[in-house]
């Protein structure tokens, strides 16, 4: 009798894992379609010079410009620059604030790298909380 129970459990486990695999494949297809539609909507908003679109249910798709950030690429040089600018550690966000305060936001200090993220859509409004 115990052998039958193991086979039954194994069969159910196999069925559940097969279902998980099928749903993962489905999810990948949906994510691919989501990326395609997001890209098309962003492109259309850019072409028409429109910042956002609001749906009947209150959901708002807003075009968001890419963000410029700094990241540490050479810790020794970053520490040296930070020390010279009254910062105790090589903190990229603090370095960015220092550059803005000094009016040098175009200059990238040694030890840091400037990164600009791509323009993207932000979803908000409706019944959902805002997400990127």
The confidence band for 113, taking pLDDT boundaries of 50, 70 and 90, is confident
Answer whether residue 124 shows pLDDT above 70: yes
| Residues 8-26 pLDDT 10s | 888 999 999 999 999 999 9
**Predicted pLDDT at 53:** 93
| Residues 67-110 pLDDT 10s | 777 888 888 888 888 888 877 777 777 777 777 777 766 678 78
Rounded to whole angstroms, the Cα distance separating 113 from 33 reads: 33
Answer whether residue 128 shows pLDDT above 90: no
Answer whether residue 65 shows pLDDT above 80: yes
**Predicted pLDDT at 1:** 43
Going by C-beta distance under 8 Å and a sequence separation of 6 or more, which residues neighbour residue 16? Answer: none
* pTM for this prediction: 0.56
Q: What share of the chain is helix, strand, coil (3-state, %, to 5)?
A: 50, 20, 30
Q: For residue 34, report the phi and psi dihedrals to the nearest 5 degrees.
A: -60, -45
């Amino acid at each position: 009798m115990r052998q039958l129970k193991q086979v039954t459990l194994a069969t159910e486990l196999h069925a559940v894992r097969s279902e998980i695999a099928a749903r993962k494949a489905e999810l990948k297809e949906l994510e691919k379609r989501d990326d395609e539609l997001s890209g098309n909507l962003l492109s259309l908003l850019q072409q028409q010079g429109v910042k956002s679109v609001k749906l009947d249910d209150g959901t708002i798709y807003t075009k968001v410009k890419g963000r410029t950030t700094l990241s540490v690429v050479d810790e020794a040089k970053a520490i040296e620059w930070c020390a010279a600018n009254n910062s105790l550690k090589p903190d990229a966000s603090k370095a960015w604030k220092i550059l803005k305060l000094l009016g040098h936001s175009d200059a990238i200090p040694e030890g840091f790298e400037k990164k600009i993220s791509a323009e993207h859509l932000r979803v908000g409004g409706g019944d959902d909380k805002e997400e990127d």
